[in-house]
């Protein structure tokens, strides 16, 4: 291009028009004298919108006055006016510009200001982001490692050095694979790289090695950085050490799913295993069995030996269960003394019979706990999915019902759920409801059976025996309802009611017929173990009646004394101190021990009816031995179930003290029994 084609002003105008830097001339009043296209572009105005308008238009309202003053001061004093300014684009967006100004005299008149401006908004933002990124990199709690396209480390942040022990100088140029712990398979890293190549990122947990050699688990995310052409230029890895968190999570999971006492899965984990097993059974059309195992009378172990011994026993039981059902899907402790087993893939319902037998047999062997030998047995209930039910809640209920049926029929056995069992259980529940009603509606009546002295032939005492006079079913035997009352705890209020009735009756009879008459009252083991057992009110009633020592005898069973429990011991001691005598009922049928007889201040032994019945056979030797032993310990002996003169004769020969039985009288209601008491003393034995 030939420069002679340009005049000077045309040349300058062309320069102004093409110049990428914004240029403006502002007069003393602050009005734009000229602006070039780049200047207009920066602020988003047209030239005509700017010319002859105040340059303060590009400043926020609150700054307009001060920038005009600064402008005029600059022109008057020639101070420096350059730097970065926050300004406004036409559309209202905030921007940052860099400007420099020089004084300029366009018409040799008032000075004007020549301004050249660059929009540095984006650069400032980028700088700010860089500053933040650098601060984050430095201050991050997460370790950050940046590698080049060859995956060699170019930078690490301070958190990296803290977490790994390695400084930047030590790792620069190295490949992060050098931190490998060796815990992961090759396939793990292949998958990681595949994900990085395909998706540009990877996240996961990696075991690496610390500088000090220890392994740690890190939660790592890697991002791939590419240039505009798609070439990998960096990998950025960010991680934190989650070894401790993982351990805590595992511990929490362990605690949430496993039983601390036995180490077996707990109810929570068991439930999900049961759901899985049911799903599997439905898919494969196989059967699945749920076995519920409840230890028999485990409570007495806890009560007599303490919870630590109880826990130890549970641990040993768990080990034995594992041995008995090695192929089980799950063996769990559901709580207390209740265990459960899931057995999958069975072809017929009876497939669990063998396992149930094994468990019962395995538990038969003694346990050595705290230097003491202990025995436990179990009651097992089994229900089959989906034969019995397809509902897991019902499956549980079924197995539970089967297990309780075992408990109610003597424990230490197993039973499969059946429809008949279901009906029987419902009948039982009905009876329990009726029993509660009976207590509320006073449907009980105390019958009395005389106990006769073999020395005098007189009725010396009565045994109080309860009857349930049901409004429609007539008299219901205590053999039927006492076990139910014991199971439900109703025996406590029923027993208290009986005792109070009997004490009041004795008081009346003593005044009316015989001041020496005594009363025997049956006490259930459940009563004596119960928290609610009201021994104090008993004693108060006795004291109020003015009974002397020995007026009342309680009849208890031998089994009660076997595992001595604090509460039972306390209650028996209280009664003994209050002058109540203690008789062992059905003596000879349980675990008799001389030591117990001494320890618990027993006063009488009642020879069981079965021995009296068999007095012509082995019963004779047994009765001989019991009477001799009782007398040697200073105890009185009462023979139960005496029905014949022959039995009475033999018992007299053996030196028995008292007899009770149909020979004299069946248990009778008050009005009937009074007919016996009304007879003259010397005659009342001849009834
Ligand atoms: N906790 C409580 N238990 C009680 C109470 N009342 C009774 N019972 C217990 O219920 C069982 C059955 O009692 P029952 O049907 O009253 O039977 C008693 C007698 O009727 C029966 N007996 C007495 N003499 C004879 C006889 O010559 N032949 C014969 N076949 N039966 C006879 O024995 C039962 C008395 O038993 P015992 O208590 O062992 O002395 C029974 O276990 C009762 O204990 C109660 O109030 N509380």
**Mutate which of 461, 465, 526 for ligand 1 pocket (most atoms within 8 A of beta carbon):** 465
For the chain, residues with pLDDT lower than 50 are: 1-3, 682-687
Q: Show the tokens assigned to 555.
A: 């009849």
Is the separation of the CB atoms in 288 and 280 below 8 Å? Answer: yes
Strand partners, 340: 292, 332
Domain of 157, CATH number, reads 3.30.450.20
Q: Show the tokens assigned to 392.
A: 């897991």
**What is the predicted pLDDT for the residue at 534?**
65
User: How many structural domains does the chain have?
Assistant: 4
245 three-state secondary structure: helix
Is the separation of the CB atoms in 359 and 325 below 8 Å? Answer: yes
Say yes or no: CB of residue 75 within 6 Å of ligand 1: no
Say yes or no: CB of residue 588 within 6 Å of ligand 1: no
213 three-state secondary structure: coil
Q: Are residues 168 and 108 in the same domain?
A: no
Instruction: Give Cα 250 distance to the centre of its chain.
Output: 16
Q: Show the tokens assigned to 30.
A: 């602050």
Say yes or no: CB of residue 667 within 6 Å of ligand 1: yes
Q: Are residues 478 and 409 in the same domain?
A: no
* CA distance linking residue 513 with residue 682, whole number of Å: 13
Q: Are residues 359 and 478 in the same domain?
A: no
Query: For the segment 356-376, what is each residue's pLDDT rounded down to a tens digit?
Result: 999 999 999 999 988 888 889
Say yes or no: CB of residue 553 within 6 Å of ligand 1: no
Pairing of strands 459-470, 518-522: parallel
Say yes or no: CB of residue 662 within 6 Å of ligand 1: yes
Query: Would you say residue 436 lies in a domain?
Result: no
Query: For the segment 585-596, what is each residue's pLDDT rounded down to a tens digit?
Result: 988 777 667 777
Residue with CA nearest ligand 1 atom 37 = 585
Q: Show the tokens assigned to 241.
A: 């050490």
Q: What is the ipTM of this complex?
A: 0.94
Q: Among candidates 372, 385, 424, 371, which has minimal Cα distance to 402?
A: 424
Q: Among candidates 135, 156, 154, which has minimal Cα distance to 145?
A: 156
* CA distance linking residue 293 with residue 504, whole number of Å: 45
Interior angle at CA 432, CA 427 and CA 435, nearest 5: 125
**What is the predicted pLDDT for the residue at 246?**
94
Say yes or no: CB of residue 647 within 6 Å of ligand 1: no
Query: Would you say residue 486 lies in a domain?
Result: yes
Q: Are residues 215 and 86 in the same domain?
A: no
**What is the predicted pLDDT for the residue at 457?**
92
The CA-atom distances, in angstroms, between 136 and each of 124, 144, 236, 239 are 18, 10, 14, 14
Model's pTM, two decimal places?
0.56
Number of the ligand 1 atom closest to the C-alpha atom of 498: 46
Q: Are residues 277 and 226 in the same domain?
A: no
Q: Are residues 472 and 507 in the same domain?
A: yes
Say yes or no: CB of residue 608 within 6 Å of ligand 1: no
Q: Are residues 358 and 467 in the same domain?
A: no
Instruction: Give Cα 414 distance to the centre of its chain.
Output: 28
Q: Show the tokens assigned to 288.
A: 């699945």
Query: Would you say residue 605 lies in a domain?
Result: yes
Query: For the segment 317-345, what is each residue's pLDDT rounded down to a tens digit?
Result: 999 999 999 889 999 999 999 999 999 99
Q: Are residues 15 and 91 in the same domain?
A: yes
Q: Are residues 270 and 304 in the same domain?
A: yes
* CA distance linking residue 178 with residue 241, whole number of Å: 17
445 phi-psi bin (left φ>0, alpha ψ -120 to 50, beta other): beta
Cα 462 to middle of ligand 1, angstroms: 12
Terminal CA-to-CA distance of the chain, rounded, Å?
155
Q: CB under 8 Å to 685, separation ≥6 — which residues?
A: 452, 457, 458, 459, 664
**Which range of residues forms the domain containing residue 454?**
450-682
Cα 370 to middle of ligand 1, angstroms: 40
Q: Are residues 466 and 558 in the same domain?
A: yes
Q: Among candidates 572, 576, 589, 563, which has minimal Cα distance to 527?
A: 572
Query: Would you say residue 427 lies in a domain?
Result: no
Q: Show the tokens assigned to 224.
A: 């791939």
Q: Are residues 77 and 153 in the same domain?
A: no
**What is the predicted pLDDT for the residue at 587?**
87
Query: Would you say residue 130 lies in a domain?
Result: no
Say yes or no: CB of residue 362 within 6 Å of ligand 1: no
Residue whose pair of structure tokens reads 């022990």 in the numeric block: 165
Q: Are residues 35 and 97 in the same domain?
A: yes
Q: CB under 8 Å to 416, separation ≥6 — which residues?
A: 349, 350, 382, 383, 384, 402
3-state helix, strand, coil in the chain (%, to 5): 45, 25, 30
**What is the predicted pLDDT for the residue at 6?**
58
Q: CB under 8 Å to 313, separation ≥6 — which residues?
A: 298, 301, 367, 369, 374, 376
DSSP string, 99-151: EEEEEE-TTSSS-EEEEEEEE-HHHHHHHHHHHHHHHHHHH-SSEEEEEETT-
Instruction: Give Cα 296 distance to the centre of its chain.
Output: 23
């Amino acid at each position: 291009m030939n420069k002679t084609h340009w005049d000077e002003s045309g040349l300058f105008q062309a320069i102004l028009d093409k110049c990428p830097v914004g240029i403006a001339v502002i007069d003393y009043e602050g009005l734009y004298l000229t602006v070039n296209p780049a200047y207009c572009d920066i602020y988003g105005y047209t030239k005509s919108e700017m010319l002859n308008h105040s340059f303060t238009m590009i400043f926020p309202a609150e700054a307009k006055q001060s920038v005009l003053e600064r402008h005029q001061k600059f022109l008057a004093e020639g101070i420096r006016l350059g730097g970065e300014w926050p300004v406004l684009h036409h559309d209202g967006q905030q921007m940052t510009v860099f400007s420099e100004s020089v004084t300029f005299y366009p018409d040799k008149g008032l000075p004007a200001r020549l301004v050249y401006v660059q929009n540095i908004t984006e650069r400032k933002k980028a700088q700010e982001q860089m500053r933040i990124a650098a601060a984050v990199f430095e201050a991050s709690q997460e370790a950050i490692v940046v590698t080049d396209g060859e995956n060699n480390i170019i930078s690490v942040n301070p958190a990296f050095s803290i977490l790994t022990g390695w400084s930047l100088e030590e790792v620069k140029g190295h490949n992060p694979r050098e931190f490998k712990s060796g815990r992961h398979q090759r396939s793990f890293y292949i998958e990681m790289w595949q994900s990085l190549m395909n998706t540009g990122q990877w996240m996961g947990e990696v075991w690496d090695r610390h500088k000090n050699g220890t392994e740690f688990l890190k939660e790592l995310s890697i991002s791939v950085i590419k240039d505009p052409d798609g070439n990998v230029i960096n990998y950025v890895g960010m991680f934190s050490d989650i070894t401790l968190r993982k351990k805590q999570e595992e511990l929490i999971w362990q605690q949430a799913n496993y039983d601390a006492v036995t180490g077996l899965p707990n109810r929570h984990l068991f439930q999900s295993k049961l759901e899985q097993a049911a799903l599997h059974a439905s898919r494969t059309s196989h059967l699945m069995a749920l076995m519920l195992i409840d230890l028999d009378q485990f409570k007495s172990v806890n009560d007599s030996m303490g919870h630590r011994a109880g826990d130890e026993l549970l641990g040993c039981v768990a080990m034995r269960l594992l041995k008995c059902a090695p192929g089980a899907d799950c063996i769990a402790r559901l709580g207390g003394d209740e265990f459960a087993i899931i057995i999958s893939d069975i072809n017929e319902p009876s497939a669990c019979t063998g396992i149930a037998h094994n468990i019962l047999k395995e538990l038969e062997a003694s346990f050595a706990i705290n230097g003491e030998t202990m025995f436990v047995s179990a009651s097992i209930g089994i229900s089959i999915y989906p034969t019995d039910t397809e509902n897991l809640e019902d499956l549980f209920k079924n197995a539970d019902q089967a297990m309780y049926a075992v408990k109610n029929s003597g424990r230490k056995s197993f039973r499969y759920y059946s429809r008949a069992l279901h009906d029987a259980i419902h009948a039982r529940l009905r009876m329990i409801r009726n029993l509660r009603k009976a207590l509320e509606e006073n449907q009980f009546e105390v019958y009395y059976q005389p106990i006769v002295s073999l020395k005098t032939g007189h009725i010396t005492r009565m045994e109080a025996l309860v009857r349930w006079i049901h409004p429609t079913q007539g008299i219901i035997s205590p053999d039927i309802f006492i076990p139910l009352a014991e199971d439900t705890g109703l025996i406590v209020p029923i027993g208290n009611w009986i005792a109070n009735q009997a004490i009041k009756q004795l008081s009346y009879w003593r005044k009316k017929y015989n001041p020496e008459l005594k009363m025997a009252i049956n006490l259930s083991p459940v009563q004596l173990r119960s928290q609610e057992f009201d021994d104090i009110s008993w004693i108060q009633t006795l004291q109020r009646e003015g009974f002397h020592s020995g007026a009342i005898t309680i009849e208890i069973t031998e089994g009660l004394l076997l595992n001595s429990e604090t509460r039972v011991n306390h209650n028996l001691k209280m009664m003994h101190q209050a002058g109540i005598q203690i008789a062992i009922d059905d003596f000879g049928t349980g675990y008799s021990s001389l030591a117990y007889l001494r320890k618990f201040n027993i006063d009488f032994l009642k020879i069981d009816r079965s021995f009296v019945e068999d007095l012509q056979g082995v019963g004779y030797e047994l009765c001989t031995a019991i009477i001799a032993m009782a007398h040697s310990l200073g105890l009185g002996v009462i023979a139960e179930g005496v029905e014949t003169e022959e039995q009475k004769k033999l018992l007299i020969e053996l030196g028995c003290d008292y007899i009770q039985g149909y020979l004299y009288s069946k248990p009778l209601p008050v009005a009937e029994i009074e007919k016996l008491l009304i007879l003259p003393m010397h005659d009342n034995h001849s009834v």
